[in-house]
Amino acid sequence: MIACDAQTNLFTISTRRTTYQMKADRHRVLLHTYYGPRVDGADLSYLIRYADRGFSPNPNEVGDERDYSLDTLPQEYSTCGVGDFRLPCVEFEPPDGSRLADLRYTGYERRPGKYALPGLPAFFGGAEEWETLVIFLEDAAAGMLVELYYGVQEDCDLITRAVRVVNRGRETVRLRRCASLCLDFQRGDLDFITFDGCHVMERCLNRTPLRPGIQSVESVRGTSSHHHNPFVILCEPEAGEEWGLCYGAMLVYSGNFQAAAERTQLENNRLLLGINPYHFCWTLEPGESFTAPEAALICSPDGFARMSCQFHRALRRHLIRDPYQGERRPVLINNWEATEFDFDAEKLVDIARGATGLGIEMFVMDDGWFGARDTDRSGLGDWSVNQKKLPGGLEALVPRIQALGLQFGLWVEPEMVSERSQLYQDHPDWTLGAPHRPQTRGRSQLVLDFSRPEVRAHIYQALRRILDSADIAYLKWDMNRSLSDVWSAAAPAGRQGEIFHRYVLGVYEVLDRLRQDYPRLLIEGCSGGGGRFDAGMLYYTPQIWCSDNTDAVDRLRIQYGTSFCYPVSTVGAHVSAVPNAQTGRTTDMATRGVAAMPGTFGYEMDLRWCTPEERETIRRQVAFFKEHYALIQTGDYYRLSDPFRNGTYTAWAHVSQDRREVLVCLVTGSTHAAQPFQTLRLRGLEGSARYRADSGQIFTGDALMHAGCPIPLLPGDYQAVQIYFRAE
């Protein structure tokens, strides 16, 4: 619900549990008054106080009124260079070279439904579920209009933010910075939680108190990156899973980003989230506009679990466009770990035959099927079937796979090119690379310039020829290097600061065309695993390969951090061969299955060499996953332990939204003699309900949540158990 008071310029946004408020003051500066637990019927601008602070200057219009300074006021969208020395949201560079921004309120609009962002991913929904508020700010001297967009979804406690900047003047203006979200807090005692790591160890939770100054996580790699995720949390120091005030902020974007928190001289905090200003410069001719990516906010007065459940629901219902909406996605087998590049049609069919009778429904052919692709040093970009490996092409192979009762899926990497390819020989200027400099390789490949329409058109037509040649149900879109040498041969010098962002827009355009032309095609995103695991990609690819690290024990940590924002249905997770390729660790098939089930589920191994006992385990795993698919994929997800702190076990639970079904999953750590008796307290149940376990034992919801469920003594390292409860 949005309430607008045109007389006092007070704007109040209410969701089911929270209130967000701002107000334009007597100098038309838009101030942020409050964001937190729901407060009805109050003008909360009384919380803003004024005092003369040394070295905090005063706007010209206040004269000698020294207690009014932009440097000390909580702003809704912060200015630049005109008296506020904290993190700026926007920076204009007119022809005179000044880099100032002084924004004043000029009006508002209230609209039914959810705004859309042309060319960019964004949450969606109709007038029955969403409202939109647009606030207009103006820098009269620069001739610039800034439109602040707010989308409100009450049930999920979701508030989205977006920004559009319009050049209404007569001169060219260069936009040097444009954040999507500014959030000022009139308190300093907050913790900053980020999700960091590296390739094969993504999204590990890091929590630290905010110190004076600026703390930030960011990416300059051209993608959101393995190293930092564009989702962060600010919370009270005592906040945990079930208690405490916390704020989750997510950027719906897949390129360079910056999430920065600044603790100020007055013990206040400012959170800024948006495109990284590194190498960003967007030229706006008179009449032109720029739209920044969307940001999304959820405040939970009741801890992390509530925040996570709300993000999961919002993403599933209002961002992800799933071709299997309301249906079960197929369980698949991928050939990469079984063969890498060493395969032919007969070997692939033989591997697929090994999956029959186990309940597996799709076979995915990975890298190596196209061009002269016998290693990762050649062939990339030549999207035609290697006839030596696959005589007759996909037209011959796919029906053979389908005859075994399996759908067919395919791996591609459209954004990259090998120098040893026909595409590169024909169009070397189609790659990113500055003139008179040697190009930097990553995984022996270069980056195609997706900012160029002719490059996008060529790649899209190549993908269409592939998809039209056979019945292909699934496409794995990979991207295996960071962007470097970011310079486009098609852009003038003054526009090179646009290439990072135009590249991302180009990727979005191709993916959106695929979605429109092949509405039943399931696309899985991938960037060396989790290098581009963000809400922007989820708009186009409803699932993303979570990590190239498939070790069951490491995955417990990776998936733990991922779960704070992203729902189970988005997490590409498979059972792989042992010893694991990344860690050398061996865990049994049952444990690998339990670790992979809070995800899309599948297998990355050669099932031909499984023992009869292992095949029977796989058969039971697949049947169990299918039986409980709706509970796992759409139920509320509860973290019951922290794998970074509790070495004894890692546990989580899926609870149906009506709280009638519960699936508890637990994996032990390394074992020791004289194991203690332990109990596991559940969350999210109906306290008065009676839950029958699959063992037949009956517990009340209150007993399971407060007294706990006994954890069985499991001999050996890394053992797993699943317990299913149903309310009577």
Q: Is the peptide bond before 579 cis (omega within 30 degrees of 0)?
A: yes
Please give the Cα distance from 12 to 14 (Å, whole number): 6
What the block records as the tokens of 216 is: 């930030």
Q: H-helix or E-strand containing 465?
A: helix 453-469
Report yes or no: 535 and 561 within 8 Å, Cβ to Cβ.
no
Q: Quick one: how far is CA 536 from the chain centroid?
A: 6
- CA torsion 388-390-393-396 (nearest 10°) is 140
Pairwise CA distance, residues 41 & 431, whole Å: 57
- Candidate list 184, 361, 534, 554, residue with the active-site label: 534
- Partners of residue 166 on adjacent β-strands: 145, 289
Residues 6+ apart with CB under 8 A from 356: 404, 405, 406
**Residue recorded with tokens 């007294």:** 707
> What backbone torsions phi and psi does residue 638 show, to the nearest 5 degrees?
-120, 125
Out of 509, 614, 642, 686, pick the active-site residue.
614
Q: What is the DSSP letter of 602?
A: E
- The helix or strand, by DSSP H or E, that contains position 205, with its residue range, turns out to be strand 201-209
Catalytic: 5?
no
Q: Is 534 among the catalytic positions?
A: yes
State the CB neighbour count (10 A cutoff) for residue 716. 11
CA atoms within 13 A on the CB side of 458: 21
655's CB contacts (< 8 A; 6+ apart) are 635, 636, 638, 661, 662, 683, 684, 685
Residue-by-residue DSSP string for 648-666: SEEEEEEE-TTS-EEEEEE
Q: Is the dihedral of CA 481, 485, 491, 496 positive or negative?
A: positive
Tally Cβ neighbours within 10 Å of residue 204: 18
Q: Which two tokens stand for residue 451?
A: 């900012």
Secondary structure class of 166 (helix, strand, coil)? strand
Residues 200, 529 contacting (CB under 8 angstroms): yes
Q: Which long-range contacts (CB under 8 A, 24 or more apart) does 206-215 make?
A: 209/237, 210/234, 210/261, 210/263, 210/269, 211/263, 212/263, 212/264, 212/265, 213/262, 213/263, 214/87, 214/260, 214/261, 214/262, 215/260, 215/261, 215/262, 215/263
* Dihedral class, residue 613 (left if φ above 0, else alpha if ψ from -120 to 50, else beta): alpha
Q: What are phi and psi of 497, to 5 degrees?
A: -70, -5
Tell the burial category of 7 from Cβ atoms under 10 Å away from its Cβ (0-12, 13-18, 19+).
exposed
Q: First and final CA of the chain: distance in angstroms? A: 38
- Nearest CA-CA partner of 89 in 220, 214, 182: 182
The order of strands in the sheet holding 10-14 is 2-5, 10-14, 18-24, 30-37
The pair of three-digit structure tokens given for residue 457, joined into one six-digit string: 């058109």
What is the set of active-site residues?
Answer: 534, 614
